[in-house]
Structure 1
Amino acid sequence: MEGALAVKTVLIVVIVALCGAVPTTSPSQEELSKAQDYLSQFFSDVGVSAPSSVLRSSLDSFDDTLKKMQEFFGLEMTGQLDSNTLEVMARPRCGFTDVTRYGHFNGQPKWDKTVLTYRITDYTPDLSQSDVDATIAKALKIYSDVIPLDFKQIDSGTADIMITFRSREHGDFAPFDGEGQVLAHAFSPGEGVGGDAHFDEDENWTLTSAGANLFLVAAHEFGHAMGLAHSQVQTALMYPTYQYVNTEGYMLPDDDKQGVQAIYGIRTTSAEPDPKPQPRPDPDPEPRPNRCSRFLTFDAATSIRGNLYFFKDGYFWTRSRSWDGITMRRIQSVWSEISKVDAAYEYKRSNTVIFFEGDHYWKIVGNTLLPGYPKPLTDFGFPPSVTKVDSAVHVSFTGRTLLFVSNKYWSYNERRGRMDAGYPKVIHTEFPGIGYRVDAAFENKGYLYFSYGSTQREYDYNRRRAIRTLLNYKWMDCN
């Protein structure tokens, strides 16, 4: 068994039901049995036996190992199954043995390459495929942000990291046990199943605090897949017990960061010969666009999760559906690889947003850029002559996305994933009243809005007529 563990170490995240009234006196036989299993799995290489009136050697082994467990979790080292100890044993946790601070596996296994491939072979029906793709990419990105490793998703063949959602027996001699107990397990770096991660399909996978949060579980799993063991630091991602934390803007905690960098080194964005490089001065910084200018033009506009986004010169404004305030941010502060947005639209059915920038486009879920992007416009169905999309808007009740280029437009069938036949068509003949070109387009409360220059037309798509003319800056809460 030791030889097998030396080859591959399996991470088992255990979720156990909290006990009701935890006794402070003599523990029951069931509690002793559970404690024996707990200590055998997490604090002993050879296993321990519960106290017995018959076997004194078993009692000594149990007491000594119990004290190790109590010391690790900062409990009073009584060597007894008191209420505090039983409560800690009942917490959700991971299946590796426990160490202090960050830890590495014996022999410190690591990947000897700089680009790791991963493949998701089975998806959970609890979430959309795009949500799973984005969440897995986000969980891996917290590591690639701090170490010189990159991750690339592939759709076929054998990847370095194979990811699957399965239930019960699934071929690795570590069967899942149904909802509420083992959440997932993974393997340390190596050949074969090394780095692979398996998730229990019987769990309720979510992106919230309910059920099992896929991002947090996956991020912990991938820590083991990178070569990390457990940490005693309670705020560390690799702390043994699982608990939900807010995942928005989540970054790898310092303890985990130090641990993984001890294996792979520190990620640097570029090779700088000067150990203390000075920031390059910007002699002519570009001023922020003025949202209240009567001559305001938009590069792009779209709705995203009920809010309106307006893009201009590397920035974007957000108009929230819940209040009338306007916030402004730099595009790269949210989507680091995108410097400018020429056109954008939201496809609510798959919870995705498409950004067009020059001759390529990006697909995004939430604030996460999906792997494999950007892709060229030709992959979207445009002819090679199209090198820039001026604007785009999705019309939900037709299932079509309208894409405007110069004085023409295309119609894209989202369900079939291809352009409709017979396009492009001329804008001013098909959309009378909106003019000859469109800089930005979006949908709001059943109407389409087409902007060109500083003005826009509110358009009734069903009646094919312009309702009124507005100025762009009217959306910006200006007096």
Structure 2
Amino acid sequence: MCLSIHPSIHHLSINLSIYHPSIHLSIHLSIIYPSIYLLFLSLHINIPSLRITDYLSSFYSDVGVSAPGSVSRSSLDSFEDSLRKMQEFFGITVTGQLDSTTLDIMTRPRCGVSDVARYGYFDGQPKWDKKEITYRVTDYTADMSQEEVDRALVKALKLYSDVTPLQFRQIRSGTADIMVMFKAKSHGDFFPFDGPNGTLAHAFSPGEGHGGDTHFDADESWTLTSSGANLFLVAAHEFGHALGLAHSQVQSALMFPTYQYVNTEGFTLPEDDRQGIQLLYGEWGIRGTSPEPTLNPGLNPEPAPSPTPEPAPDRCSPDLVLDAATTIHNTLYFFKDKNTVQPGYPKPLRNLGLPVHVRKVDAAVYLSFSSKTLFFVNNMYWSYNHRRDRMDHGYPKYIYREFDVSKVDAAFEYRGRLYLSSGAMQNEYDYKRGRLVRSFLNNQWMNCS
């Protein structure tokens, strides 16, 4: 079989036979004619090409995505860059090209909140400034009884009240903090649903107006089982957004963007989600059972003195001891206590997006191939994205889960590899492939026999 394509200027002939794998065709087309490649793959995966662009615009761009293969200047994000963002987020091979794995992810039922949403669980990000949160269901699904829906929502919210000081109360009238509804298609918030087996639900981060509101697509089949969309699991995810959590890149996390049924019997909040919600609201044990004490109106005690702020380090002191250092875009950065130190500095670490409770950085390393800086603090680490000028979502993470060590004393990149020093040992990582290459003693760098 022969396929010939004749645009106005270029000419491409592709000869097909049963001995030529289809993947060879798709790669060839993707390089020369991206828009034709998009159409070719969309026909084979049964997903409209327009929906692919809409998917990337909705979940991986703040301004929209240009047409595939577009070479004209545009205010929109490029199709290829948006694909790379998606592939990086889901931990698959980053190519900027469509492939069957990428398209398979696009066809999965998922949450309607963007994966590059501008809120997460860092200090100072959107959250409720009170401990009792009200919610109200204004429109129920016809798939379940109202009692079943109410029980599922109570069970979902209990995941968060079990690990934080938060308490939730359902009201039957008036305006609640979290307004819950089941609606189809356009429903008054400029984010219409798309029918069955697509976007299951969406929620807004804490705040005024729509803040906290949680909407479920009425066109989905809502259940309490493994068939259809399990309301408890989806509601638990969406309430995470309503409380201030962004999507997580951890596949086992409740806040992972795509839907996958898991056994709900005895279900508890996964570790990644628990860390996130507790960074926002604190741990359950902090919730008191008695009201705040009040002063006798007849007394006029002296106000408590304000704590003395910690002095910024003197960058010119001969006794200056640094905590960490890294090179970012040929500029050398030093870290001391809660500050970055260099000419024109110090400046607070929170300017980089680190939480205010971080008092010092143990190690920092700039990864040139990804334009990211990793910050290691105690047993956690953060990833700062220099292309976006902000911390990556889904952080902090436990160091041991990624790097097989519990703490990092020093870190650097050398010849494309990442080196982490922990105690007397040095660990060499192929960070692009996400695997440990070898471990050896620190003194091997010193040419010791």
- 1:125 maps to what in 2? 142
1:373-392 matches, cutoff 5 A: none
**Counterpart of 1:65 in 2: which secondary structure?**
helix
**1:67 CA drift (Å):** 2.0
SS in 2 for 1:121: strand
Aligned counterpart, 1:112: 129
Distance 1:205-1:152 versus aligned 2 partners, 3 A rule: same
State TM-score, norm by structure 1.
Answer: 0.48
Selected match of 2:241 from 216, 224, 236: 224
Does the CA contact (< 8 Å) of 1:51 and 1:59 recur in 2? no
Which segment drifts farther, 34-43 or 253-262?
34-43
Whether the aligned pair in 2 keeps the contact of 1:99 and 1:232 (CA below 8 Å) is no
Q: 2:253 aligns with which of 232, 236, 240?
A: 236
Shift of 1:270: 7.0
Equivalenced residues, count = 251
Map 1:289-308 → 2, pairs under 5 A = none
Deviation at 1:59, TM superposition (A): 11
Aligned ranges for residues 156-305 of structure 1 at < 5 Å?
156-268=173-285
Tell me what 1:142 maps to: 159
Following superposition, the deviation at residue 269 of structure 1 comes to 7.2
Q: Distance in 2 between matches of 1:177 and 1:251?
A: 30
Alignment check: 8 A CA contact 1:105 1:229 kept: no
Map Cα deviations across residues 322-365 of structure 1 (whole Å, 9 max, x no partner): xxxxxxxxxxxxxxxxxxxxxxxxxxxxxxxxxxxxxxxxxxxx
Match 1:67 to one of 84, 88, 95: 84
Deviations 1:356-412 (A, max 9, x none): xxxxxxxxxxxxxxxxxxxxxxxxxxxxxxxxxxxxxxxxxxxxxxxxxxxxxxxxx
Sequence identity percentage: 66
Matched, 1:29 2:39: yes
- Match of 1:85, SS state, is helix
Q: How far apart, in 2, do the equivalents of 1:167 and 1:213 lie?
A: 17
Cα distance change of structure 1 residues 86 and 153 upon mapping to structure 2, 3 Å threshold: same
Distance (whole Å) between structure 1 residues aligned to residue 165 and residue 214 of structure 2 = 21
- CA distance in 2 between counterparts of 1:174 and 1:155 reads 25
Tell whether the 8 Å contact from 1:185 to 1:198 is kept in structure 2 after alignment.
yes
1:157 aligned counterpart, secondary structure? coil
1:36-55 to 2 correspondences below 5 Å: 36-52=53-69, 55=72
Q: Deviations over 1:120-170 (max 9, x none)?
A: 122222111111111110000000001101001122222111112222332
Contact preservation (8 Å) 2:136, 2:172: yes
1:276-319 Cα deviation digits (max 9, x unpaired): xxxxxxxxxxxxxxxxxxxxxxxxxxxxxxxxxxxxxxxxxxxx
Cα offset, 1:199, TM superposition = 1.5
Using the TM superposition, give the Cα deviation of residue 56 of structure 1 relative to its aligned residue in structure 2, in angstroms: 7.7
Give the counterpart letter for 1:168 in structure 2.
K
**1-structure distance, mates of 2:51, 2:188:** 27
Contact 1:138 1:215 in 2 (8 A): yes
Residues 270, 111 of structure 1: CA spacing in aligned structure 2 closer, same or farther, 3 A cutoff? closer
SS in 1 for 2:210: coil
Question: Is residue 108–residue 198 contact of structure 2 (8 Å, CA) maintained in 1?
Answer: no
Quick one: distance in 1 between partners of 2:184 and 2:77? Answer: 38
Unmatched runs of 5 consecutive residues or more in structure 1: 1-20, 273-479
TM-score, structure 2 normalization: 0.51
Q: Kindly tell me: are residues 120 and 253 of structure 1, through their superposed partners in 2, closer, same or farther at Cα, counting changes over 3 Å?
A: same
Question: Does residue 83 in structure 1 map to residue 100 in structure 2?
Answer: yes
Conserved in 2, the CA contact under 8 Å of 1:50 and 1:59? no
Instruction: Tell me the amino acid that sits aligned with residue 200 of structure 1.
Output: D
Structure 2 contact 69–79 (Cα < 8 Å) conserved: no
Q: Is the 8 A contact 1:43 1:65 kept in 2?
A: yes
- CA–CA distance in 2 between the matches of 1:106 and 1:35? 34
CA 1:187 to 1:256, structure 2 compared with 1: closer, same or farther past 3 Å? same
Paired AA for residue 137 in structure 2: I
SS at match of 1:163: strand
In structure 2, the residue corresponding to 1:96 is in which secondary structure?
A: coil
SS at match of 1:210: coil
**Is contact 2:64-2:76 (8 Å) kept?**
no
Residue 105 of structure 1 and its aligned partner are, at CA, apart by 8.2
Q: CA deviation at 1:176?
A: 2.7
CA contact (8 A) 2:121 2:279 kept: no
- Structure 2: stretches of 5+ with no match in the other structure: 1-21, 30-36, 43-48, 290-449
Match runs of 1:338-417 below 5 Å = none
Q: What is the letter of the counterpart of residue 86 of structure 1?
A: L
> Structure 1 residue 226: deviation in Å?
0.3
Amino acid at match of 1:187: F
For residues 41 and 106 of structure 1, the distance between their equivalents in structure 2, rounded to whole angstroms, comes to: 26
59 and 142 in structure 1: CA distance in 2 versus 1, 3 angstrom threshold:
closer
Cα deviation code 1:9-42 (max 9, x no counterpart): xxxxxxxxxxxx9984433437354332222222
Q: Is the 2:59–2:114 contact (alpha carbons within 8 Å) kept by the matching residues of 1? A: yes
Give the CA deviation at 1:115: 0.9
* CA displacement, residues 169-226 of structure 1 (integer Å, 9 cap, x when unaligned): 3222323333333322211111222111122222211000111111011101100000
Structure 1 Cα separation of the partners of residues 133 and 153 of structure 2:
14
* Contact kept in structure 2, 1:40 and 1:47, CA below 8 Å: yes
What amino acid sits opposite 2:285 in the alignment? T
- Deviates most, 228-237 or 102-111: 102-111
Correspondence 1:103 to 2:120: yes
